[in-house]
Structure 1
Amino acid sequence: MQITIGIKHSQRELTLETTETIEAVRAKVDEATAAETPLVLSDDKDRQLIVDPESIAYIELDPAKEQRRVGIGLA
């Protein structure tokens, strides 16, 4: 699943690929905003993204979007 996070007062977005479900990500977002603690998400390569919940403008969760692959496959 691809997650895109818009940041207030910034033209750039944060994007990451994760194997977590939509429900798991929504629970993390709800918990971070309710407790006013940083939102911590992990991507497919176990890298962590830590975002201040007050700076989040929006979060887009797209389970169908697959990352484009570039390159030549040799069999």
Structure 2
Amino acid sequence: MEVRIGVQNVARELVFESAQTGEEITAAVAEALTSGSVLSLTDDKGRKIVVPASTLGYVDIGASEVRKVGFGLS
């Protein structure tokens, strides 16, 4: 699942692939926003991404898609 996180007052967004489902990511974002704590997610390589909820600009949760290898004719 591709995740893009926009942080306030930062020009670049955080972009990473996560093994978590869209529902798990949505629940983590909602919990961080309601509690005012930090958003903590894990990427597909096991690294932790931690962002203070007060600085979140947006969280874009992309659809998980299988990457194709080679040349496709469609």
Is the TM-score greater than 0.5?
Answer: yes
Aligned to 1:33: 33
In the TM superposition, residue 65 of structure 1 has moved relative to its aligned partner by 5.4
Aligned residues: 69
1:1-75 to structure 2, matched below 5 A, reads 1-64=1-64
Question: Where has structure 1 moved over 3 Å in runs of 4 or more?
Answer: 64-67
Which consecutive residues of structure 1, in runs of 5 or more, have no partner in the other structure? 70-75
Query: Counterpart of 2:23 in structure 1: which amino acid?
Result: E
Query: Counterpart of 2:21 in structure 1: which amino acid?
Result: T
In the TM superposition, residue 10 of structure 1 has moved relative to its aligned partner by 1.2
Compute the TM-score of the two structures, normalised by the length of structure 2: 0.83
1:2-59 deviations in Å (ceiling 9; x for gaps) = 0000011111101110111111100000001111111100001110000001111111
Q: Do the aligned partners of 1:37 and 1:52 also contact (CA within 8 Å) in 2?
A: yes
Query: Counterpart of 1:31 in structure 2: which amino acid?
Result: E
CA RMSD of aligned residues (A): 1.9
Give the Cα separation in 2 of the matches to 1:29 and 1:7.
13
In the TM superposition, residue 66 of structure 1 has moved relative to its aligned partner by 6.1
% same residue: 31
Change beyond 3 A, Cα 1:66–1:14: farther
